[in-house]
Amino acid sequence: MAALKLGLALLTLAVSVSAVPLEPRQSISALSTSQISTFKPFTHYASTAYCNPSTTLTWSCGSNCQANPTFKPVASGGDGNGTQFWYVGYDPTLKTVVVAHQGTDTSQILADLTDADIIRETLDSTLFPGISSSVTVHSGFANEQAKTATLILSAVQTALSNNGANTVTIVGHSLGAAIALIDSVYLPLHLPGVTFQSVLYGLPRVGNQDFADYVDANLHITHINNLKDPIPIVPGRFLGFHHPSGEVHISENGAWEACPGQDNTSNLCIVGDVPNIFESTESDHDGPYDGLFMGC
Ligand SMILES: *[C@@H]1O[C@H](CO)[C@@H](O)[C@H](O)[C@H]1NC(C)=O
Ligand SMILES: *[C@@H]1O[C@H](CO)[C@@H](O)[C@H](O)[C@H]1NC(C)=O
């Protein structure tokens, strides 16, 4: 619980820092070592999403599973091909339900997101009741999220009620981060009164300005970007895509910089540090995130 509380305090800090209009020079601040360590369980959870569902359902996937030894799985699925792997369960140590989505191959997602034919669409009104039609998201990501949406909702309901829980943490890396971000919009619409937070790694841009503003106004998101990873800077802002607030950027000297606002252009944050994909490093996408590389 201590770790989760620290994580939540950090998220609140990030939100309140960006909300103070009178500070002339809000600083980009480096997280302390103990703040960084609060993310470790979630980094393992995001990494675990790359493991075969048969091993996440029994929590027998090896070192990633052993890193969160008290986890109680509820459901898992996907085939890693048409549908990315996912799992849902409960962490009695952190007292949170965990929802995790698998990512994909870096070169594959980079090719998809630099394709000129990227289409955005409004969110489906059955899955997302009440969301304004001015909110648009990447069509491919919306399709991926829709494939597992109701299965995940029902598993989360089971995990909450079986454990008397009231908190859900949604995690993912790469494509899994994009699906997790859309799940972060979807699940609260169907689970009023539940507290949500999301910890996302190597998140690509998912939606338009209204989407980013909706996320900022309603959700608690941290998205962690490593070094010169190209994925967080695609699709380009010139195509109308925008990140929500909540960026943490891992810099060359190992510092985790909390970057206020959306798409902060400071050199300490990914937009400033990686001006275009030709100055990026694909291998940074998988890690290391505080020493950990994504993958089962
Ligand atoms: C992946 O999906 C495609 C299209 O549905 C299918 O043709 C292919 O056999 C699948 N590959 C594996 C390894 O399941
Ligand atoms: C980026 O961070 C700086 C703090 O160094 C802040 O002044 C600025 O408003 C931020 N930019 C955006 C776009 O939020």
Q: Give the residue extent of every domain in the chain.
A: 2-9+31-164+175-286
**Shortest-distance Cα residue to atom 13 of ligand 2:** 264
- Ligand 1 centroid–CA 82 distance in Å is 7
Which ligand is the nearest neighbour of the Cα of 20? 2
- What's the predicted TM-score (pTM) here? 0.90
Amino acid identity of 157?
A: Q
175-190 and 139-163 helices, crossing angle to 10°? 60
Q: How far apart are the first and last CA of the chain?
A: 25
- Ligand 2 centroid–CA 22 distance in Å is 13
**Shortest-distance Cα residue to atom 14 of ligand 1:** 81
Two tokens at 172? 């993912």
**Lining residues, ligand 2, CB within 6 Å:** 25-28, 260-261, 264, 266
Closest ligand 2 atom, residue 266 Cα? 1
Which ligand is the nearest neighbour of the Cα of 21? 2
- Ligand 1 centroid–CA 78 distance in Å is 13
**Lining residues, ligand 1, CB within 6 Å:** 81-82
Which ligand is the nearest neighbour of the Cα of 78? 1
Cα–Cα separations (whole angstroms), residue 32 to 37, 99, 251? 9, 26, 14
Which ligand is the nearest neighbour of the Cα of 79? 1
Burial of 129 (0-12, 13-18, 19+ CB in 10 A): exposed
- C-beta contacts of 270-273 below 8 A and 24+ residues apart: 270/225, 270/229, 270/232, 270/233, 271/233, 273/227, 273/228, 273/249
- pLDDT per residue of the chain (296 residues) written in tens, 0 to 9: 344 444 444 444 343 333 334 444 468 999 999 999 999 999 999 999 999 999 999 999 999 999 999 999 999 999 988 899 999 999 999 999 999 999 998 988 988 888 767 899 999 999 999 999 999 999 999 999 999 999 999 999 999 999 999 999 999 999 999 999 999 999 999 999 999 999 999 999 999 999 999 999 999 999 999 999 999 999 999 999 999 999 999 999 999 999 999 999 999 999 999 999 999 999 999 999 999 999 99
Indicate the helix (H) or strand (E) that contains 131.
none
Cis ω for the linkage preceding 235 (within 30 of 0) = yes
- Ligand 1 centroid–CA 84 distance in Å is 12
- Enumerate residues 6+ apart whose C-beta is below 8 A from 174: 103, 104, 106, 109, 201, 202, 204, 231, 285, 294
Out of 17, 247, 264, mutate this one to test ligand 2's pocket (max ligand atoms within 8 Å of CB): namely: 264
- Ligand 2 centroid–CA 201 distance in Å is 21
**Shortest-distance Cα residue to atom 8 of ligand 1:** 81
CATH fold for the domain made of 2-9+31-164+175-286: Rossmann fold (3.40.50)
